Chains A and B, each alone.
Chain A
Amino acid sequence: MNKFIPIIISRPQSSNLMNVLVPVIAVILTLLTGSIIFSIMGFNPFFALHTFFISPISTSYGISELLVKATPLALIAIGLAFCFKNNIYNIGAEGQLTMGAIFGGGIGIYFYDTNAFWLLPLMILGGAIGGALWAMIPALLKTKFNTNEILTSLMLVYVALLILDYLVVGPWKDPLGYSFPKTRQFSESGRMPLLFAGLRVHFGLIITLVLIFFSWFIFSKTIFGFQLKVSGYSPTAARYAGFSQNILVYLAFGICGAFAGIAGLSEVSGPIGLLYRDISPNYGFTAIIVAFLGRLHPIGIIFASLIIALTYLGAEDAQLFMQIPAAVGFVFQGLILFYLLGADLLVNYKLEFNK
């Protein structure tokens, strides 16, 4: 019997091959599990997987929608990489996204009848500042009062969502909008330009790619990136080297919040065009999965954001064509993360069978 139970043996050095392979293994295992779940629900698994993962992206419109969903996910995830690399568990990106949308979107609403070239850049700046300020709260509480950032950043998500709710039903409500809880439309120059006529993919994608390149540069070419890495691996070594942990915390939170804020702004000034209650289908939380699945690496995050964006599209199609609740997308996202974390064992340990 014992012959079939492998023994776990630690590797002298973590395996680079496994580091790349594990996310692939996780995705394959998720697809396998998915097909089992679909068969139990009485669907032909091939038909179901096709509906879920292939037919949504078989048209140019579908590809554009995939990019629309992947844009905020990748941008937030690369921001989270700054935090996670340093073992700072900022899980409140959803709140930072909301605050970015409020700050940037607020500018758009204030200038609703202005058409000028400076409006969109100003709104993007507003989004970045809003997100960064909101992220400064947990950073400040962590450095000054030693408070665990997991819980504080999460509590601030609920507060940000309630502030948005207050604004769209209260002071910022569209005076011509009857009783709908939404604001005025932004003016045309406050909207993200579309990249292709007739498709929804917008300029936010370019911003995301630029910021991902910027992050890659910081991670691999600057002292700050090196400090992040060292203090992530060994806080003690970082302290002896004289790196200030507090400054790293502020910078990581600030960059992450700014990125999430820009993602929020590019959602409201891209596909949406105004502010209302449900501006984000949990992008801030889902981006945590994207960051882990992409191994906190810029290239990895691009691939991961496309895969996870596909679960959103697939879930919408599954609801339309198979009457499966769209929440199945979150189930898949949870499964991917489970498999990823479980298979992570193979990076630092190897399995051996008794002979």
Chain B
Amino acid sequence: MDFELLYGIVKIILIATTPLVFAGIGELVTEKSGVLNLGVEGMMLVGAVTAFVTLVITGNYILAFTFSILSGVIMSSLFAFLVLILMSNQIATGLALTIFGIGLSSMIGKNYIGTPIEGLSPWFFVIFSFVIVFFISYFFYKTKAGLILRAVGESHNSAHALGYGVLKIRFCSIIFGGAMCALAGSYMSICYAPMWQENMTAGRGWIALALVVFATWKPGRILIGAYIFGGVSILQMNFQAWGLSLPGQFFNMAPYLATLIVLVLISSNKLRVKLSAPASLTIPFFKGR
């Protein structure tokens, strides 16, 4: 294999994997605080369409990303209100957020399908994705605030007894998750694609959720997992280009099947999952009578 081709592949893998890293690390922070948000796909789509439409109207990249992140904050606050204050079932609420997000994004983006825009260079975001993973890793294991967040996810009653505001900390973690998912979406519609299409995230939100399990809730491993998935989905395109004789649909299955296989391998060790998952995940916190 010549160097030129290898360089090309590495470049594409870096560009294609970045949204998985953003969404994965956002969801990881949310889950670390003890909340499972299945709305990743919906928040990514709304983030993507918000960024795209803002860019088409204003022509301003900074505004596009700001509004997109704001949309993620609003979507995740809605989720936070339901699961934290009204103590609704987190799994069902997350599903509702995804269904709502799919509908809302295709409604907003209806007139913008196929509108041409000038894409932004992805490299700033590629580097930023590594920085944010490093930062979150540092935050969790080297700062007191990170320790408190993890404590809330492990045992909200103990954290509450020690005087920490469980709901406040969970709220912030959910908002951070929402903002990162929206950033992943806006990166896809402005840097990666660059265009808007209904359901353009094509299940990446769900793969990001699987990444958190793969990473056994450790930030650094999100990078490893994301690059395995990114690599698989890019390599399948290259296999196709190299003329491997299988219908295209079977190559397109690769990322989903890879997710499935990896999930099985990770979770078949019951003890490992039990030890690494936040102990209060999906359990609502009720401090009242």
| Same complex | yes
Question: Which residues from chain A sit less than 8 Å from chain B, CB to CB?
Answer: 7-10, 89, 91, 141, 145-148, 150-152, 154-156, 158-159, 162-163, 165-166, 170, 285-286, 288-289, 292, 324-325, 327-335, 337-338, 341-342, 344-345, 349
Q: Which residue of A lies closest to B257 (CB)?
A: A159
Q: Does B92 contact A (CB under 8 A)?
A: yes
The answer to whether B260 touches A338 (Cβ under 8 A) is: no
Q: Which residue of B lies closest to A163 (CB)?
A: B249
Cα–Cα distance between A304 and B97 once the two chains are bound (Å): 19
The answer to whether A330 touches B102 (Cβ under 8 A) is: yes
Cα–Cα distance between A337 and B107 once the two chains are bound (Å): 18
The answer to whether A333 touches B268 (Cβ under 8 A) is: no
Knowing A146-B270, A151-B213, A162-B252 are in contact, say whether A335-B263 is a contact too (CB < 8 A): no
Interface of B is mostly: helix
The answer to whether A325 touches B110 (Cβ under 8 A) is: yes
The answer to whether A338 touches B93 (Cβ under 8 A) is: yes
The answer to whether B203 touches A334 (Cβ under 8 A) is: no
Q: Which residue of B lies closest to A144 (CB)?
A: B268
Knowing A151-B259, A328-B107 are in contact, say whether A10-B247 is a contact too (CB < 8 A): no
Cα–Cα distance between A166 and B270 once the two chains are bound (Å): 36
9 other A-B residue contacts (CB within 8 Å) besides A151-B213, A325-B106 = A147-B263, A152-B263, A155-B257, A159-B257, A162-B253, A166-B249, A324-B107, A333-B103, A341-B82
Q: Which residue of A lies closest to B36 (CB)?
A: A150
How does the 8 Å CB contact mask read for B233-261 relative to A, with 1 for contact and 0 for none? 00000000000000101101100110110
Q: Does B121 contact A (CB under 8 A)?
A: no
Q: Which residue of A lies closest to B251 (CB)?
A: A162
Binds A, one of B83-91, B140-148, B156-164: B83-91
The answer to whether A345 touches B210 (Cβ under 8 A) is: no
The answer to whether B82 touches A330 (Cβ under 8 A) is: no
Cα–Cα distance between A8 and B288 once the two chains are bound (Å): 7
The answer to whether A325 touches B107 (Cβ under 8 A) is: yes
Chain B residues, Cβ within 8 Å of A329: 103
Q: Which residue of A lies closest to B102 (CB)?
A: A330
